[in-house]
Amino acid sequence: HMSQVKKYLNVEPVTPDGRRIEVELNIACATPQELAGAAYTDGVGLFRTEFLYMGRDRLPTEEEQFQVYRKVLEAFQGRPVTLRTLDIGGDKKLDCLALPKEENPFLGNRALRLCLSHPQMFKTQLRAALRASVYGNLWMMFPMVSSMEDIHQAKAAVQEAKNELEMEGIPYSEDMKLGVMIEIPAIALMADQIAKEVDFASIGSNDLCQYLTATDRMNPAVAEYYRSFHPAMFRLIGYAAQPFLSEGKEIGVCGEMGGDPLSAAVLIGLGITRLSMGASSVPHIKKLITGLSYERAKEIAQKVQHTALAQDVRRLLQEELQQLL
């Protein structure tokens, strides 16, 4: 099966009726193996930078981070590299940063919140990313955004880092895009206003499912309640995508749903044009795209949103997409 699907690795991801889908990579450590994916993808849709901070006893310096970010940008030669700022807390811990124990870490001081409460640490990362931005096409995005206030604060931190670099005579790209992850329902419901405030958004379906269904994504006791095929997921994603599409701004999906052909088909039908995934999913998703017309994907998305049971959604998708899996 794998050798058959491998031939799709290098095909253009265009639907039979001519809709181009950007197929991007999720990366973490910027290993040579990950960067080799530049040969058959349209960019990096999610660079999980927290892996630079994990498993070490002191925070990475600005210079260390700059070198890694530069390496990734150069490897992707002008294609977008979507750098997600530090997403720590929740399931991910840092040895180099002592944090108080929390009752509900997934609802706690996580990701952007943690960065805003540690301005010096945040600024070091922002400066490193801005310095690297002149070596490629950097898109910067913030995780765990829950309000417009969060976006204003994140933007202010970026502006402060830019001001510092300017005073020091250090160059950065004026073209860097700023975006948010949509992984909290509150921000999905504010998409009309968010789409006017940022350059792009990326849906983090892993956390979106956790927060929408109120199910801890790490707790096996409630695993059956974590239903990414819950019709509410597709309704909310469709709702959040619409304002971005009509503003002409990029909206993608970088959670697991983007790399699963069953859910990716629905996402395409909801108008999503960027899917980011682990390297092993790329040929499967390209196979799906080259075989599924946008018109048919739209019909499937309509049906799915009006199905009641997650298990019926899955069954329907398996039947509809049989030939393309």
Residue 204 binding Mg ion, by CB under 5 A: yes
- Tell me the three state secondary structure of residue 149: helix
Task: Tell me if 207 is assigned to a ligand binding site.
Answer: yes
Q: Which is nearer to ligand PEP, 13 or 258 (CB)?
A: 258
Stretch that binds ligand PEP, among 65-73, 101-109, 127-135, 203-211 (CB under 6 A): 203-211
Task: Tell me if 217 is assigned to a ligand binding site.
Answer: yes
CB of 24 to Mg ion, least distance (A): 16
Residue 207 binding Mg ion, by CB under 5 A: yes
Residue 264 binding ligand PEP, by CB under 6 A: no
**Of 24, 42, 150, 183, which one interacts with ligand PEP (CB under 6 A)?**
183
Stretch that binds Mg ion, among 152-160, 197-205, 233-241, 289-297 (CB under 5 A): 197-205
Q: Considering only CA atoms, which of 270, 113, 112, 89 is closest in space to residue 178?
A: 112
Instruction: Name the residue with tokens 């994916």.
Output: 37
CB of 68 to Mg ion, least distance (A): 21
Residues annotated as catalytic are 254
**Of 67, 173, 206, 290, which one interacts with ligand PEP (CB under 6 A)?**
206
Alpha helix ranges (H) inside 42-91 = 62-75
- Give the C-alpha distances (Å, rounded to integers) separating 42 from 9, 23, 157, 277: 12, 6, 29, 11
Q: Considering only CA atoms, which of 298, 292, 307 is closest in space to residue 272?
A: 298
Distance CA 237, CA 258 (A): 12
Stretch that binds ligand PEP, among 116-124, 154-162, 198-206, 309-317 (CB under 6 A): 198-206
Instruction: Name the residue with tokens 């697991």.
Output: 256
Distance CA 23, CA 64 (A): 29
Among Mg ion, ligand PEP, none, partner that 22 touches (CB below 5 to 8 angstroms by kind): none
Show contacts with ligand PEP in window 37-76 (CB under 6 A).
Answer: 46, 48
CB of 171 to ligand PEP, least distance (A): 30
Residues 6 or more apart whose CB falls under 8 angstroms from that of 132 comprise 66, 69, 70, 73, 138
Task: Tell me if 109 is assigned to a ligand binding site.
Answer: no
Residue 205 binding ligand PEP, by CB under 6 A: yes
Q: Considering only CA atoms, which of 118, 113, 123, 200 is closest in space to residue 163?
A: 123
- Give the C-alpha distances (Å, rounded to integers) separating 279 from 5, 33, 80, 140: 13, 10, 16, 21
Among ligand PEP, Mg ion, none, partner that 136 touches (CB below 5 to 8 angstroms by kind): none
The most distant pair of C-alpha atoms in the chain lies apart, rounded to whole Å, by 60
Task: Tell me if 17 is assigned to a ligand binding site.
Answer: no
Please check whether residue 132 is in contact with residue 66, taking contact to mean a CB–CB distance below 8 angstroms: yes
Among ligand PEP, Mg ion, none, partner that 254 touches (CB below 5 to 8 angstroms by kind): ligand PEP
Q: Which is nearer to Mg ion, 38 or 212 (CB)?
A: 212
CB of 40 to ligand PEP, least distance (A): 21
Residues interacting with ligand PEP, by CB under 6 A?
46, 48, 87, 183, 204-207, 254-255
Residues interacting with Mg ion, by CB under 5 A?
183, 204, 207
